[in-house]
Structure 1
Amino acid sequence: MTVSERLTAFARKQWTDGPPATALHEAKRLLINQLKASVGATGSDAVRILHDWSRKTGSGGNASVLWFGGRLAPEQACMVNAALFEVLDFNETHIPTFHHAVSGVLPAVLAEAETDGNSGAEVLAALAIGIEVELACAVILMPTGYFRGFVPGGITGAIGGAVACSLLAGHDDVQIRNALGLAMNSGLGFYQSAGSMALPYIMGMTARNGLTASHMAGLGLDAPAAAFEGDKGMLSSYSDEPADKIAGVLDTLGDAWRIMNQSYKTVPTETITHGPIECVLALRARSNGRTPERMRFAVAPIVVKIADERAERFGAPSSDLEARFDLRHCTAAAWTRGRFTLAEMTETAFTDPAILDLRARTDLIGDAAQETFNGAGLEIVYTDGSTDRIFIPAFRGTPGNPMTDHELSAVFRQSADGVMSPARIDALLEAAWSLETAPDVSTLMTLATLD
């Protein structure tokens, strides 16, 4: 069997038998997490541009645009919703594959479900299966796909979306296999785009491509059966991983669901900053008014490499998009302001002399004992000569230090405060947490509109 055929067989079995209850619950958490990640994103210039374009080119459809309200053609709604999910980098991360797996899948699922009238239970099942298929492909392609410079979610997100939408649309196995092959031909995005409007655009295109692949396969468009593993296929084009890795990954599908290994975020910025920001806020709380002379972070060596490459490319941040990809800025802003919110990525923050000064006195030291982004250590030398240290092995939201359902709801409430009424927030959360009992997603989508 080809990779596409094996993924199709897995998807069919899970759709027929039903994913495990734990995977379905995690899919619901990931949906709520995307609402949390996007509710504060409507003011983004990148989102505004995509929204304006989508209204001009996709009016008259039946798919909802989150937070803005209104309906567009499904493909255009996908573009805007995926950009909303991605632009603040407040979404989940599958750290083993450097991957935001949901932004490319969920917008396509919502658009398809609104079009077809699928139940809430079907939406959660399709979302769980689509993400699991996507992550299997990402595990095969990473880490060398990432090291080559590809955006993992951009090259694999359409795969998850194509599978999920095909299931919702009632496609047969041949159509699902073709949808997978078409989606495998749709991967896009380079990490050179980090810090620019191109990154949310990449995720918008990814979500749209997954939905379109499903639609085209449903109409009879075919694709190469070995689109993934063929000599000129996805594996050799996007990665340097060995072909014999495929069997080991696909043989474990359905055993331990990779969807359960997601990391959630408590503050709106990229993953590598979370451990360091937690360290800063913890030491600041016990600093007793002392002033840092120097901050020294011990982080995984790859974090130093990423941060230094961006510092060389950007210099000091000159936009909110660059600020959230600047670890030194984020930690300096967290210390100076005593918090980290969207306000710490506005121009008043990234041009603040006090933040810029501390940013210049912030060091990143590679710690070979740390293999991932999960943890960080911090030593602060204060101007009075004293020092303080902390090590956080896993930031809040990682599998090693998981965020509870209650905490996830609380972060959404905090993110939505001031743009939605408390009553609307309560109603939206109730609709999301009970989605498996809903006859469709109409109530959820109606509530996901700003007051």
Structure 2
Amino acid sequence: MSTVTQKIARFVTNAQHVDLPEWSIHEAKRTLLNMLAISLSASEAKGAKILIDWAINEKANEQASIIGTNLKTSASNAALVNGFLCHLQDYDDTHFPTILHPTAPIWPAVLATAENNGSNGHDTLAAFVVGAEIACRIAMSVHPWHYDQGWHITGTAGVFGAAAGAGKLIGLTEQQLTNAFGASGTLAAGVREVFGTHGKPLHAGHAAENGLRAATWALAGFTGGNDIVGGRRGFWAVASRDGHSKDALISQLGEHWEFKMNGLKPFANGIVSHPIQQAVIELRNEFNLKPEDIESIKAITHPLVLELMNRANPIVGLEGKFSFQHCAAAALVDGAGHDAQFTDKKVNDPTISNVRSKVSATIGKDVSEDEVHLQINLADGRKLKKHIKHAVGSPTNPMTDEELMNKYRALSGEILPKSQAENLATAVWDLDNASNVFELCNLMRA
């Protein structure tokens, strides 16, 4: 009888491009475009510079490109740095049921593998889709126990998706991919204590790197056992000791797609506060609100807002990304939630700090993760209310292609000339017709 790890390996190796839902290929392009936009924008940040300088000093073989630079390094180093860049601003996509960020660990591994091996765009897109599905399925199988224990699911589930995507692209057999899962699963890492620091995006980069390495090693004969996921001392037993769901991993695999529950972010911060930000911005614009008008901002939210983003007094910009109070205050003062709202200077701005002190949240019964009931009490006595049922960027209310392109142009324009950025976008949208990814990778370099 096959183990659960062998079953997911069989799904990956048997999956054909023609069997994948048409929407999934289009969504793969959208997530790639989003990754390029946010990685380009992040490429000059302090944390990015640290890893880029490290990659330069490694003097590795020039196999794959680092986004937003003129550098090539080893495929595994490129996967690490690009995964870090993709997650650095917390502007990447999110699988809503589990808060997994699939793109940051998977696309960098797949893209580096494709560039190093000369893979065509058709196969590259398919590899990402199956990798993303595996990561989402792994995440679902341990949700919510794993995250509640303190694990960062993007790093721990993402490494399986990275191995699946890279392994699919280099043609691993079922047994080889089972071994790759064994290697990647034993390297799965990331704890939530480092949220608000460079440690969080490192989880994504490390997952991309380790998934790619595991696939490459397995091709050469590396062994990893037959059931890293379900074994007596495997991933479920060790990293999700309070519970797991076998059905969530393998039931209707290839028929029901968890990847469809993925969404792109309109704001560059923890996704659970997005409904609050959207509601604040809508009321701000509707009533022309100014900071001095505000008596208080009160939100009735999902429990995860208080669990993940209750930082009343962030000190640095990265901490602001995990402060619902700061997110709401910046939305009121600036009418935005881009990375510019999460600098060290911005979190210490007196006007924003003053508004931030007036923001509070309580848990609402049956309030979903993409919902909020918000009330702004004004100094003149008025009480303004806004109910966001499904925030923009959620699977129920996804960003349109036009909205995504607006985000892409704004962020890529910080680094690339306009003509190069437009050509890069065209290369993404036409990727399924490309004989290789070389042009795309050349265009993403600055």
Deviation string, structure 1 residues 350-392 (Cα, Å, up to 9, x no partner): 11111111111111111122132x1112101100111100011
Equivalent of 1:369 in 328, 348, 366: 366
The runs of 5 or more residues in structure 2 that have no matched partner are none
Matched to 2:394, the amino acid is: T
Deviation string, structure 1 residues 102-123 (Cα, Å, up to 9, x no partner): 1111111111111110000010
Offset at 1:272?
1.5
Identity rate, percent: 28
Aligned mates of 1:259, 1:305 — CA distance in 2: 25
User: Is 2:305–2:324's contact at 8 Å kept on the other side of the alignment?
Assistant: no
Aligned mates of 1:288, 1:20 — CA distance in 2: 44
| Greater alpha carbon shift after TM alignment, 428-437 vs 66-75 | 66-75
Matched to 1:69, the amino acid is: N
Aligned mates of 1:277, 1:30 — CA distance in 2: 22
Matched to 2:257, the amino acid is: W
Match of 1:221 in 2: 222
Aligned mates of 2:288, 2:106 — CA distance in 1: 46
Aligned mates of 2:301, 2:216 — CA distance in 1: 44
Match of 1:282 in 2: 282
Match of 2:300 in 1: 298
Match of 2:71 in 1: 70
Alignment CA distance shift 1:198-1:421 (3 Å): same
Match of 1:347 in 2: 344
What's the secondary structure of 1:227's corresponding residue? Answer: coil
Aligned mates of 2:424, 2:98 — CA distance in 1: 31
What's the secondary structure of 2:386's corresponding residue? Answer: strand
Matched to 1:217, the amino acid is: A
Deviation string, structure 1 residues 238-289 (Cα, Å, up to 9, x no partner): 114545x213540211112111111111122220121111111100112244
Offset at 1:135?
1.0
Match of 1:134 in 2: 135
TM-score by length of structure 2 reads 0.96
Q: How does 1:304-343 map to 2 (within 5 A)?
A: 304-308=306-310, 311=311, 316-343=313-340
Aligned mates of 1:90, 1:231 — CA distance in 2: 37
| Greater alpha carbon shift after TM alignment, 19-28 vs 437-446 | 19-28
| Greater alpha carbon shift after TM alignment, 277-286 vs 167-176 | 167-176
Aligned-residue RMSD, C-alpha: 1.5
Equivalent of 1:405 in 401, 407, 420: 401
Matched to 1:293, the amino acid is: E
Aligned mates of 1:393, 1:24 — CA distance in 2: 28
The runs of 5 or more residues in structure 1 that have no matched partner are none
Match of 2:437 in 1: 441
Aligned mates of 2:373, 2:61 — CA distance in 1: 52
Aligned mates of 2:113, 2:344 — CA distance in 1: 38
Query: Does residue 163 in structure 1 map to residue 159 in structure 2?
Result: no
Aligned mates of 1:297, 1:156 — CA distance in 2: 31
User: Is 1:301–1:368's contact at 8 Å kept on the other side of the alignment?
Assistant: no
User: Is 2:8–2:134's contact at 8 Å kept on the other side of the alignment?
Assistant: yes
Offset at 1:305?
2.6
Offset at 1:17?
5.0
User: Is 2:9–2:174's contact at 8 Å kept on the other side of the alignment?
Assistant: yes
| Greater alpha carbon shift after TM alignment, 104-113 vs 164-173 | 164-173
Matched to 1:106, the amino acid is: W
User: Is 2:68–2:415's contact at 8 Å kept on the other side of the alignment?
Assistant: no
Aligned mates of 1:2, 1:397 — CA distance in 2: 36
Match of 2:152 in 1: 151
Matched to 2:391, the amino acid is: F
Count residues in correspondence. 443
What's the secondary structure of 1:40's corresponding residue? Answer: helix
Aligned mates of 1:400, 1:344 — CA distance in 2: 26
Query: Does residue 246 in structure 1 map to residue 243 in structure 2?
Result: no
Aligned mates of 2:268, 2:378 — CA distance in 1: 28
User: Is 1:120–1:438's contact at 8 Å kept on the other side of the alignment?
Assistant: yes
What's the secondary structure of 2:298's corresponding residue? Answer: strand
What's the secondary structure of 2:61's corresponding residue? Answer: strand
TM-score by length of structure 1 reads 0.95
Query: Does residue 383 in structure 1 map to residue 385 in structure 2?
Result: no
Matched to 1:88, the amino acid is: Q
Aligned mates of 1:252, 1:351 — CA distance in 2: 49
| Greater alpha carbon shift after TM alignment, 343-352 vs 391-400 | 343-352
Match of 1:31 in 2: 32
User: Is 1:140–1:241's contact at 8 Å kept on the other side of the alignment?
Assistant: no
Alignment CA distance shift 1:168-1:390 (3 Å): same
Aligned mates of 2:13, 2:227 — CA distance in 1: 19
Deviation string, structure 1 residues 309-348 (Cα, Å, up to 9, x no partner): xx2xxx6222221111111011101111232322211233
